[in-house]
Structure 1
Amino acid sequence: MKLAEALAQRAAAVRRVEQLRARVVGSARYQEGEELLSALPVAELRAQADLLAKEIREVDTLIQRTNWEIDLIED
């Protein structure tokens, strides 16, 4: 995987995390006693968030490996 592809993949995953977060926050509602309730399937959303976090970590690892392997200054 090229560095540009990895960066694009990471950016896409981060956007999906932000969309997921906005969906969760937007669907939450307060009822009596300040109890926060969600109209969304929490287990499903948590699983999606976990997969996205794993994808971001894996892509970050690829990016870091590429950064360590490339010499920017030639002798």
Structure 2
Amino acid sequence: MKLAEALALRADAARRVEQLRARVTASARYQEGEAPAENAETLMTEAAEVLGELESLIRRINRTNAASLVEGGTLTDALARRDVLRLRHSLVTSAAGAAAGEGQRGFRQLRSELKMIPALPVGELRGQADDLARQLREVDTLIQRTNWEVDLLD
């Protein structure tokens, strides 16, 4: 099985656990004299089985990520880089937007109102954001390609 397939199975298992959690919660109490919509104990057993499968997938995915070499390190390194690039891009775009006055009134209605001046260079920040977005795309493409090339480890 390829790593990408395992990632899809992991996402499915996580969704399934969340669905089972909601069903257990809905069936955990019922009114006396009525039957519950579903058997909560059976749902709990099913959830425990899915959680066991999820744990196994996560362990195998993590082992595979740590052992798979890509440009400049392991796949785990590339995932960390992607996460930090996303955070950095978000920070820079937020800073540029705030400095540009996005979401705020962009003009003075009265001459007596104080003029707002950007504390950061908006154009420079937008250029940094563009560069970060490019780097993020490149790392993400590398990760996606590797996910379809690498076999999942046991």
Q: TM-score, normalised by structure 2?
A: 0.40
Instruction: Give the superposed CA RMSD.
Output: 2.4
Equivalent residue, structure 2, for 1:69: 149
| Equivalent position to 2:127, from 6, 24, 47 | 47
Displacement, 1:54?
A: 0.8
Say how many residue pairs are matched.
Answer: 71
- Map 1:6-45 onto structure 2 (within 5 A): 6-27=78-99, 28=101, 29-30=104-105, 31-32=107-108, 39=118, 40-45=120-125
What percent of counterpart residues are identical? 45
Q: Deviations over 1:38-72 (max 9, x none)?
A: 71323211210111001101101110121111123
Structure 1 pair 55–70 and aligned structure 2 pair: CA distance change class (3 A): same
- Show structure 1 runs of 5+ residues with no match: none
Runs of 4+ in 1 over 6 A off after TM superposition: none
Question: Hey, which of these two has a bigger chunk of strand by percent?
Answer: 1
Equivalent residue letter for 1:20: V
Larger radius of gyration: 2
Greater RCO between the two (CA within 8 Å, min separation 6)? 1
Structure 1 pair 41–48 and aligned structure 2 pair: CA distance change class (3 A): same
Displacement, 1:11?
A: 0.6
SS of alignment partner, residue 32 of structure 1: coil
- Show structure 2 runs of 5+ residues with no match: 1-72, 110-115
Give the Cα–Cα distance (whole angstroms) in 2 for the partners of residues 17 and 61 of structure 1: 17
Contact conserved, 1:24 with 1:38, CA < 8 A, in 2?
no
Displacement, 1:32?
A: 2.5
